[in-house]
Amino acid sequence: MKVTVNRTILELVEGDITELEVDAIVNAANEHLAHGGGVAGAISRKGGPIIQEESYKWVREHGPVPTGSAAITSGGRLKARYVIHAVGPVYDGTPLSAELLAAAVRAALRLADENRVKSVAMPAISTGIFGYPVAEAAAVILRTVLEYLNGDTMLERVVCCLYGRPTFDIFVRELKAQLRL
């Protein structure tokens, strides 16, 4: 599904984020940028050891990445030039979870703009081992992306790359609801 928001294409796709032809991909990361499992593990394996090495270096120089913020490394052997490591919250059912997830999405999009990225892809942040229910995450992620794209941005294309048909379908329903389609 594709829509244009302001001057930016927002696209929902089902697939493997490591295979997308974009300038940057967003990684659903933890505060220590230790990329063991889930989407983080897949990105690290596909991009090669340089991504983990740069991530550890970032943490050594700056400290852990606070929940709700993001860091950037190269894309290693990925098609993408950059990996933006967004730290979403571990879901606890409180309004703070939604605030921190929205902050992580905004931080990732801001880092993309600051690095003159034209296209970025992001997964359903926090919905894996961090336990965020997909429908709730979809509402927060899409609302935040739409708000960001209605502001001042250089981004030409934002892709929500979703793993599995059920997650993709939830995001499509949510985007249609938010756009009243």
Cβ–Cβ < 8 Å for 114, 100: no
This prediction's pTM: 0.96
For the chain, the average pLDDT equals 96
pLDDT at 181: 80
pLDDT at 37: 80
Determine the Cα–Cα distance for residues 76 and 44; give it in Å rounded to an integer: 9
pLDDT at 126: 97
pLDDT at 40: 87
Domain layout of the chain by residue ranges:
2-179
Cβ–Cβ < 8 Å for 97, 134: no
* pLDDT single digits (tens) 82-117: 999 999 999 999 999 999 999 999 999 999 999 999
* pLDDT single digits (tens) 119-152: 999 999 999 999 999 999 999 999 999 999 999 9
8-14: strand order across its sheet? 2-5, 8-14, 157-162, 119-122, 24-29, 82-87, 70-74
- What number of other Cβ atoms are within 10 A of residue 38's Cβ? 18
- What number of other Cβ atoms are within 10 A of residue 36's Cβ? 10
Determine the Cα–Cα distance for residues 138 and 1; give it in Å rounded to an integer: 14
* pLDDT single digits (tens) 31-45: 999 988 888 889 999
What distances in angstroms separate CA 32 from CA 70, 116, 162, one per listed residue?
Answer: 11, 25, 24
Beta strands 157-162 and 8-14: pairing type?
parallel
Cβ–Cβ < 8 Å for 57, 152: no
Instruction: Give me the CATH topology for the region 2-179.
Output: Leucine Aminopeptidase, subunit E; domain 1 (3.40.220)
